Structure 1
Amino acid sequence: MRTTTKLALAFVALAGAVGTTAYAENNASEKMREGTMMRLNKAMSDSNGTISFDQFSDAMNARLKKLVADNGGKLTVAQLADALEKARFEQMAKRIIARYDTKGDGTLTSDDITSREKKVFAMLDRNNDGKIEKSELPKGGRFGRHRQWDGDGNEGDMQ
């Protein structure tokens, strides 16, 4: 395999991971709201349509209260930042593994990465000549989650 092809494939893989990060940051607050509403709806359905303050409090901040309790009743900025960063990166890692994992076993292998790269390369090589020309690249040079293609080369979300 030529060096330029290897570099292009490495760039596509890296750009996909970066795109995942940007997508995660853009949708974090929306996901938090959805999660809060799901927890409140569940608490209400479990209580015949009404919830007490204690049920509301449990639904809203159970994880935060657990962090405080796990840290002796006090939580510093550094401890909270570490917990938030860990949770964010765990979510990103889950999405990346889900995207690349071809066997569905929850692990990432070199074969999984190569398989994903081949899929993306084939999708970008629209004229099937074994090379990606500049005109075949997405407009604006964006990779990752891109509305122009789905994973099969059809229009939709590229994942």
Structure 2
Amino acid sequence: MRKTTKLALAFVALAGAVGTTAYAENNASAKIREGMMMRLNKAMSDSDGTITFDQFSDAMDARLKKLVADNGGKLTVAQLADALEKARFERMAKRIIARYDSKGDGTLTTDDITSREKKVFAMLDRNNDGKIEKSELPKGDRFGRHRKSDDDGNGGDMQ
């Protein structure tokens, strides 16, 4: 396999992982609000359409309260950061495994990775000659994201 092909495949794998991370970080606050509203709506639907402070409190930050309780009633910055980092990376790991897991068994194998790479390679090899040429690579800054020209000629905003 030529060095440029290896580099292209490595780029594809890296772009997928980085893209997932960037997307997750950009939507974090919206997801937090959405989760909060879902918990409040559930609490209201479980009662008569109103909730007490205790029901509100239970619905809001049950995981945070559990972390505090699990750590003797006090939670340090380091403990919270570790828990948040672990949760974030677990979500990322689930998305990556879901993307690559060809058998649907929740595990990642070398065969799964190779299968995914073959699919991406086939997608990029538009003329089906078994090689990816520079002209076959997506244009733009990232896969699926292209620059749009604007009137002032500075390249425009990302699409």
TM-score (norm. length: structure 2):
0.85
CA contact (8 A) 2:43 2:55 kept: yes
Shift of 1:28: 1.2
Pairs aligned (count): 159
**Residue correspondence of structure 1 range 45-84 to structure 2 within 5 A:** 45-84=45-84
Q: 1:3 to 1:158 in 2, by over 3 A?
A: farther
Computed over aligned residues only, the root mean square deviation of the Cα atoms, in angstroms, reads 6.5
Mean CA deviation greater in 147-156 or 56-65: 147-156
Identity fraction in percent: 91
Residue 135 of structure 1 corresponds to: 135
Per-residue deviation, 1:146: 9.6
Query: Is the 2:140–2:146 Cα contact (8 Å) retained in structure 1?
Result: no
Say which structure, 1 or 2, has more relative contact order (CA 8 Å, 6+ apart).
Answer: 1
Conservation of the 8 A alpha-carbon contact between 2:139 and 2:146? no
Structure 1 pair 154–143 and aligned structure 2 pair: CA distance change class (3 A): farther
Cα distance between partner residues in 2 of 1:103 and 1:152:
50
Find the aligned partners of 1:31 and 1:39 in 2 and give their Cα distance.
12
Change in CA separation of 1:151 and 1:109 when aligned onto 2, cut-off 3 Å: farther
Separation in 2 of the partners of 1:152 and 1:59? 50
Unaligned regions of 5+ residues in structure 1, if any?
none
Name the CA shift for 1:95/1:14 in 2 (closer, same or farther; >3 Å): same
How big is the shift at 1:141? Answer: 3.6
Calculate the TM-score normalised by the size of structure 1: 0.85
Q: Is the 8 A contact 1:148 1:157 kept in 2?
A: yes
Structure 1 contact 97–106 (Cα < 8 Å) conserved: yes
Residue 41 to residue 63, structure 1, CA distance change in 2 (3 Å): same
8 A contact 1:23–1:145 mirrored in 2: no
Question: What SS does structure 2 have at the residue aligned with 1:141?
Answer: coil
Q: Is the 8 A contact 1:149 1:158 kept in 2?
A: no
Q: Distance in 1 between matches of 2:68 and 2:151?
A: 42
Give unpaired runs (5+ residues) of structure 2. none
